[in-house]
Amino acid sequence: MALGGATQEKTVAPWRSGEKTIYSIGLSGIEIALARVSIGKFDSDSIVARIASETLPSFSNILRVKDDISSWISLEGLMPNRSNMHAIYKTRESTTKNEIVQTKGGIRLKQRVEALVPNKKDSRKKAKRAWSTTKRYPAKLHDPVSVLLSLRHREITSGQSFDYFVMSGRKKYIAHLVATGLESIRLNGRKMKAMRLQGNLQRTSGSRKLVRHGKVRNFSIWLETSGAKRALKATIKSPLGAINIGLKQSSLGKQPVQAFSAPATLPEKLRQALPAKR
């Protein structure tokens, strides 16, 4: 049963259990990090998927960043039921565990956070802090892993648009994407056709009522149009400059998975309530 009461049959997903992909992350033409995406085991209800990224040792002396997200994603709509995230940014380190209950018109999110915070007087010493919160949100919640699987599972045509309420660690975002059409791209010396999606990302605050704030970050994603429908490359505008992500290595999975992707849109009432982007 799909969200909103509409019945939808599961279909074989383009991605399969056992798939492993490595992406190169570059800044100003220099490779600074690698990201690994893997799709793991599944049962009748959910599948485990993971995105792990970390700066290369040669760049970590300047800025060390590590994100490791494991997500248990429902095959009935491709939304996460729970997820774990381990993050390192410079000298700060945290682990966030999420339990997500999809409710009528939204979700209930329970978070447990454990953080290691440097001592202000002595950066070599770290204090351990932990806290838990439970909040309700008026929109279905995704994470970066579920958004990627959701987009790959769709038959995307030019002009289509998608809106996601996305969680990354403790931060929440509104993501808006528009399919702008097929483009010829060159990747690893090969020329291929890909569907380009242009998007923007903005932070939100609040729970019962979401409010967008802060800078809007623009990005683009190019997806394969057939076969595994992998994400081939992406560009993201950041304070450091344009970050370029490209497929470096991939091995396709062997076990087929059946799933369906729920509509990627925010409730009309919520979209109307959100203030205009600046």
All residues at 6 or more sequence positions from 215 whose CB lies less than 8 Å from its CB, including other chains = 202
Is the CB of residue 91 less than 8 Å from the CB of residue 102? no
- What's the Rg (C-alpha) of the chain? 19
Q: Is residue 94 part of a domain?
A: yes
In a domain, 57, yes or no: yes
Which among 9, 140, 158 has a CA at the least distance from the CA of 79?
A: 140
In a domain, 133, yes or no: yes
Residue 121 amino acid letter: K
Global pTM value: 0.87
Q: Which of 69, 101, 64 is nearest to 83 (CA)?
A: 69
Res 71: pLDDT: 95
Classified as helix, coil or strand, 60 is helix
pLDDT of residue 12: 92
Report how far residue 186's alpha carbon sits from residue 202's, in angstroms, rounded to the nearest whole number: 30
Are residues 73 and 49 in contact, defined by beta-carbon separation less than 8 angstroms? yes
Whole-angstrom Cα distance, residue 89 to residue 177?
27
Angle at 78 between CA 77 and CA 79, to 5 degrees: 95
Q: Are 23 and 31 in contact (CB under 8 A)?
A: no
Strand ordering across the sheet containing 258-261: 11-12, 258-261, 76-77
pLDDT at residue 70, rounded to an integer? 95
The amino acid occupying position 261 is S
Q: Tell me if 229 is assigned to some domain.
A: yes
Domain that holds residue 188: 3-273
Kindly state whether residue 278 falls inside one of the protein's structural domains: no
How far is Cα 255 from Cα 14, in angstroms, rounded to an integer? Answer: 11
Number of domains in the chain: 1
Q: Could you give the CA distance from residue 205 to residue 8 in angstroms, rounded to a whole number?
A: 33
Asked, for residue 238, whether it belongs to a domain, the answer is yes
Residue 6 is predicted with a pLDDT of 41
How far apart (Å, rounded) are the C-alpha atoms in residues 214 and 157? 31
| 104-73-135-166 Cα dihedral, nearest 10 degrees | -100
Q: Is residue 15 part of a domain?
A: yes
**Series of mean pLDDT values for 10-residue runs along the chain (278 residues):** 48 93 93 95 92 90 88 93 90 89 85 83 74 90 92 94 89 93 90 94 87 89 94 90 93 90 74 57
